[in-house]
Amino acid sequence: MAVGQVTFPVMHQVDGIELGTACAGIKQTQRDDLLLIQMREGSTCAAVFTQNAFCAAPVVVAKEHLQQAPRWLLINSGNANAGTGKRGLDDALSTCADLAELAGADARQVLPFSTGVIGEPLAVDKIKAALPKAFANLAEDHWEQAARAIMTTDTFPKGASFTLEIGGETITLTGISKGAGMIQPNMATMLSFIATDAKIERELLQACLARATELSFNRITVDGDTSTNDACVLMASGCSKVPELTEGSPAYQVFADAVLKICKQLSEAIVRDGEGATKLMRIVINQALDDEEAVRVAKTIAHSPLVKTAFFASDPNWGRILAAVGRAGVDNMDLERVDIHLGDVCIVRGGGRAEDYTEAAGQRVMNEPEITVTVTLGRGSASQEVLTCDFSYDYVRINAEYRT
Amino acid sequence: MAVGQVTFPVMHQVDGIELGTACAGIKQTQRDDLLLIQMREGSTCAAVFTQNAFCAAPVVVAKEHLQQAPRWLLINSGNANAGTGKRGLDDALSTCADLAELAGADARQVLPFSTGVIGEPLAVDKIKAALPKAFANLAEDHWEQAARAIMTTDTFPKGASFTLEIGGETITLTGISKGAGMIQPNMATMLSFIATDAKIERELLQACLARATELSFNRITVDGDTSTNDACVLMASGCSKVPELTEGSPAYQVFADAVLKICKQLSEAIVRDGEGATKLMRIVINQALDDEEAVRVAKTIAHSPLVKTAFFASDPNWGRILAAVGRAGVDNMDLERVDIHLGDVCIVRGGGRAEDYTEAAGQRVMNEPEITVTVTLGRGSASQEVLTCDFSYDYVRINAEYRT
């Protein structure tokens, strides 16, 4: 049940980046669940990982291998290889070694990623058996198959792709993501793989990705949980004719904004596919003292089960929003400066119900599938936005019945 | 839908404390919704209030009047008088004045409390009209009527009562509470009124109540929201023959433990009546570095929608519990020292599934209506406990349909 119309976009190929899928039969036997991504030699690669203290085994290995010059990403769905102890680490390393042998490379050039059930041993034999097929399947035009291979509880494949023109030459950005709870510890969870043909050195690519994920993937939430497996990878093949991007240059700034744009598109797709979601809520906080305060208030609203169930019911229940603002831990909050808008309708002015507010006007906004809640704090000039979705019967059903 | 068998206990009268109820017809016309509590002259009174930055009007007034020597509590259900601005303050003060006139006292001797819908003006005329009846109804044996008069979405009245013997004489403690979401901003929410005949000066009574609520009402959660109206009041009439309780004395310690006990009973009743609750979960954290850390980890588990829906499904999904521990913000957490028990069954040992764990054993515990989850962190010697309930279809239904 996705919010809004979701169509898989045209995916521009990225020179130097090939993708191959295969069915390893890890959890289901009817669909591809293994994805291999190959970067041409000389590519650079950046990645950000979950902040959960209990990283899954593949995250531990990928973080370490990122320091070498990775050439391959090896991703499986159906099993997260999380909560699997030392055996999990050995298993992740062994799949890297299997691929390295096939490719005639070093196991440290492979970054492993896993998504699926926690606490079950990884079916390394099944993965090893399917690897040759994925390797043989490598091609630059397999983005949609790739997006499908990494799905778990996702109801649709998630992709984004566009090109930039810089000085008459083109840079392409194409990426996929998966996830249908911001993070579901059990379906350990959010993964995104983005490729570009830009030429850019690793440290700068990493800085660019860190900023973009902070303002996109870290600004979405379905249920407030943080997975053991989350990762976002940005690969740059360097095949574009645009000269190498250097720090502070106008071309770099254009590129960095494009990376943010694709991260926002891919993260928004996850919220639209939020488990049981019927509405997309954009929580905008204006006039906060600083960004941290704005994000904190936005997330307190976005995580409130009471706010989320009210939105599911299309109920313009401003008392719940106001109470969430009040418990966000903001010092010296002045209720009389707080305004709240639902869409373009002012519902709270100066901390109380706006005099010109009518239930009909509020109801009209709440009946939309996408709703912007704007809270003005009257404390400063910082603004931030967080995306979330509502809380429905289906959220409970999906998460109550997941293992059965 | 309450968890466990809930019977209203025998309520011991407290000398010097009288209760009177009446129907003001604030939201419903079929039941008493107004409660008046009168303390004999010379009583002391302590109270703790919500930490929400947006206190409801009655909370603002009650905090101020607490500094005088209050003789009356005036409580209404059906309307929270929250988000009502200056008019709300005037309304709260005017009900105090109405009662003071009736009692021949000063308005500042009245503490007002309101619970119910946010953002609607208080029906002061209806309250004024019903006050004489509540006043005429004052009696020491009206505790059950009082417990019923303060209910909102509660499915049963909540009371606790017992006596202590100190040096051959008796002290009585009797109290009531209401609330069926830890806090529902809209049904603004948790209230508790406890009376004793102990003789104890105000500051000491306040210290005693502060400690007790920290370890009871502040250790329960239904949905993690914090209301604008929460309050807990402890009244001491001084009528007991036990000599005045003084700080540090053995008698004071016995009394303080009894106050904690009654607060625990009254707060546990709220969780048992948690909206849509089908299970009571006791989250125990052992071997934490300090109490703050233990409470933080316990609350992260208790607030996780993924953990709560798994418990609703009776699913021993330890991956979700482990992932919640991992995102609780504990520095240098060592996964290999973490054990998790469900009831008496060890499900995680050293960060991975216990080798002797069986699904049958886990399922046996999960089928119980009351489940203790014990997480051992292996970091220190602090232990804390938090009570919560599961997340069911009915939670969504109750909160989605509340205003309709």
- In SS3 terms, chain B reads as CCCCCCCCCCCCCCCCEEEEEECCCCCCCCCCCEEEEEECCCCEEEEEECCCCCCCHHHHHHHHHCCCCCCEEEEEEEECCCCCHHHHHHHHHHHHHHHHHHHCCCHHHEEEEEEEECCCCCCHHHHHHHHHHHHHCCECCCHHHHHHHCCCCCCCCEEEEEEEEECCEEEEEEEEEECCCCCCHHHECCEEEEEECCCCCHHHHHHHHHHHHHCCHHHEECCCCCCCCCEEEEEECCCCCCCCCCCCCHHHHHHHHHHHHHHHHHHHHHHHCCCCCCCEEEEEEEEECCHHHHHHHHHHHHHCHHHHHHHHCCCCCHHHHHHHHHCCCCCCCCHHHCEEEECCEEEEECCEECCCCCHHHHHHHHCCCEEEEEEECCCCCEEEEEEEECCCHHHHHHHHCCCC
Contact criterion met (CB < 8 Å) for B224 and A303: yes
Q: B402 and A312 in contact (C-beta within 8 Å)?
A: no
**Pairing, β B280-288 against β B370-376:** parallel
Asked if A82 is an interface residue toward chain B (Cβ–Cβ < 8 A), one would say yes
Contact criterion met (CB < 8 Å) for A322 and B181: no
Among residues A115, A189, A300, A374, which one is catalytic? A189
- CA distance linking residue A213 with residue A383, whole number of Å: 17
**Pairing, β B382-389 against β B220-221:** parallel
Q: B288 and B379 in contact (C-beta within 8 Å)?
A: yes
**Pairing, β A280-288 against β A370-376:** parallel
Q: B122 and B80 in contact (C-beta within 8 Å)?
A: no
Write the DSSP string, A28-59: -SSS--EEEEEE-TT-EEEEEE---SS--HHH
A402 or A177: which leads in pLDDT? A177
The angle subtended at Cα A107 by Cα A106 and Cα A110, nearest 5°, is: 110
Give the best residue of A49, A51, A186 to mutate against chain B (max B CB count within 10 A): A186
Q: What is residue B276's predicted lDDT score, i.e. its pLDDT?
A: 81
A29 in catalytic set: no
Report the Cα B64 to chain-centroid distance in Å. 22
Nearest Cα of chain A lies from the Cα of B202 at a distance, in angstroms, of: 28
Asked if A49 is an interface residue toward chain B (Cβ–Cβ < 8 A), one would say no
Say which residues have a Cβ less than 8 Å from residue A32's Cβ, sequence separation at least 6: A21, A22, A23, A145, A148, A149
Asked if B152 is an interface residue toward chain A (Cβ–Cβ < 8 A), one would say no
Is residue B359 classed exposed, middle or buried when 0-12, 13-18 and 19+ CB atoms within 10 A define those classes? exposed
- CA distance linking residue A305 with residue A224, whole number of Å: 10
Task: Kindly state the tokens that stand for B162.
Answer: 């017992």
Q: What is residue A35's predicted lDDT score, i.e. its pLDDT?
A: 98
- CA distance linking residue A157 with residue A145, whole number of Å: 9
- Nearest CA among B146, B184, B106, B164 for reference residue B19: B146
B219 or B111: which leads in pLDDT? B111
Task: Kindly state the tokens that stand for B230.
Answer: 């929460």
| SS3 assignment, position A352 | strand
**Which numeric CATH code is attached to A17-272?**
3.60.70.12
Q: A14 and A174 in contact (C-beta within 8 Å)?
A: yes
Model confidence at A183: pLDDT above 50:
no
**Pairing, β B231-236 against β B191-196:** parallel
What are A233's strand-pairing partners?
A47, A193
Mean pLDDT confidence for B27-52: 93
Q: What is residue A402's predicted lDDT score, i.e. its pLDDT?
A: 54
φ/ψ (deg, to 5) at B374 = -115, 120
Say which residues have a Cβ less than 8 Å from residue B134's Cβ, sequence separation at least 6: B20, B21, B22, B34, B35, B36
The angle subtended at Cα B141 by Cα B136 and Cα B147, nearest 5°, is: 90
- Which residues of chain B does A179 touch, with a Cβ-Cβ cutoff of 8 Å? none
Q: A310 and A342 in contact (C-beta within 8 Å)?
A: no
- CA distance linking residue A312 with residue B399, whole number of Å: 9
- Which residues of chain B does A227 touch, with a Cβ-Cβ cutoff of 8 Å? 323
Give the best residue of A55, A79, A90, A225 to mutate against chain B (max B CB count within 10 A): A225
Asked if B188 is an interface residue toward chain A (Cβ–Cβ < 8 A), one would say yes
Task: Kindly state the tokens that stand for A173.
Answer: 């950005």
Q: B208 and B256 in contact (C-beta within 8 Å)?
A: yes
B353 or B252: which leads in pLDDT? B252
Mean pLDDT confidence for B123-136: 98
- Among A224-228, A292-296, A311-315, B377-381, where is mean pLDDT lowest? A224-228
B152 is in an annotated binding site: yes
Task: Kindly state the tokens that stand for A151.
Answer: 């799905």
A152 is in an annotated binding site: yes
Question: How many Cβ pairs within 8 Å bridge chains A and B?
Answer: 218
Nearest Cα of chain B lies from the Cα of A396 at a distance, in angstroms, of: 6
Report the Cα B233 to chain-centroid distance in Å. 10
- CA distance linking residue A193 with residue A176, whole number of Å: 5
Q: What is residue B117's predicted lDDT score, i.e. its pLDDT?
A: 83
B172 or A55: which leads in pLDDT? B172
What are A349's strand-pairing partners?
A352
Give the homologous superfamily in CATH for domain B17-270.
L-amino peptidase D-ALA esterase/amidase (3.60.70.12)
% of chain A residues with pLDDT over 90: 69
Q: A9 and A268 in contact (C-beta within 8 Å)?
A: no
B278 is in an annotated binding site: no
Nearest Cα of chain A lies from the Cα of B391 at a distance, in angstroms, of: 7
φ/ψ (deg, to 5) at A375 = -115, 125
Q: What is residue A181's predicted lDDT score, i.e. its pLDDT?
A: 62
- What stretch(es) of chain A map to CATH 3.60.70.12? 17-272
What does DSSP assign to residue A339? E
A178 is in an annotated binding site: yes
A275 is in an annotated binding site: yes
Q: What is residue A282's predicted lDDT score, i.e. its pLDDT?
A: 95
H or E stretch at A61 = helix A57-65
Q: What is residue B1's predicted lDDT score, i.e. its pLDDT?
A: 57
Asked if B352 is an interface residue toward chain A (Cβ–Cβ < 8 A), one would say yes
End-to-end Cα distance, chain B: 20
How much is the mean pLDDT over chain A?
A: 91
Report the Cα B236 to chain-centroid distance in Å. 19
Residue carrying structure tokens 């482990």:
B322
Model confidence at A166: pLDDT above 90:
yes
- CA distance linking residue B223 with residue A223, whole number of Å: 12
Q: What is residue B11's predicted lDDT score, i.e. its pLDDT?
A: 97
Give pLDDT tens digits for A100-113. 999 999 999 999 99
Q: What is residue B96's predicted lDDT score, i.e. its pLDDT?
A: 98
Q: What is residue B188's predicted lDDT score, i.e. its pLDDT?
A: 55
Task: Kindly state the tokens that stand for B280.
Answer: 């009571």
- Nearest CA among B342, B340, B339, B341 for reference residue B371: B342
Tally the C-alpha atoms within 13 A of residue B17's C-alpha that lie toward its C-beta. 32
Nearest Cα of chain A lies from the Cα of B239 at a distance, in angstroms, of: 39
- Which residues of chain B does A181 touch, with a Cβ-Cβ cutoff of 8 Å? 306
- CA distance linking residue A213 with residue A121, whole number of Å: 30
How much is the mean pLDDT over chain B?
A: 91
Nearest Cα of chain B lies from the Cα of A84 at a distance, in angstroms, of: 6
Residue carrying structure tokens 């089960």:
A305
Asked if A397 is an interface residue toward chain B (Cβ–Cβ < 8 A), one would say yes
Q: What is residue B236's predicted lDDT score, i.e. its pLDDT?
A: 98
**Which numeric CATH code is attached to A280-400?**
3.10.20.340
- What stretch(es) of chain A map to CATH 3.10.20.340? 280-400
A189 is in an annotated binding site: yes
Give pLDDT tens digits for B137-191. 999 999 999 999 999 888 899 999 999 999 999 999 999 999 876 444 344 578 9
Asked if A83 is an interface residue toward chain B (Cβ–Cβ < 8 A), one would say yes
Starting at the edge strand found earlier in the chain, the sheet holding A110-117 runs A17-22, A34-39, A72-79, A110-117
Quickly count: other Cβ atoms within 10 Å of residue A250's Cβ: 9
Q: What is residue A141's predicted lDDT score, i.e. its pLDDT?
A: 97
Contact criterion met (CB < 8 Å) for A400 and B310: yes
Please name the residue of chain A whose CA is at the shortest distance from the CA of residue B329: A53
Q: B249 and B201 in contact (C-beta within 8 Å)?
A: no
H or E stretch at A235 = strand A231-236
pLDDT band at A293 (very low <50, low <70, confident <90, very high): very high
Interface predicted TM-score of the whole assembly (ipTM), two decimals: 0.74
Model confidence at A185: pLDDT above 70:
no
Cα torsion A251, A253, A258, A261 to 10°: value is: -170
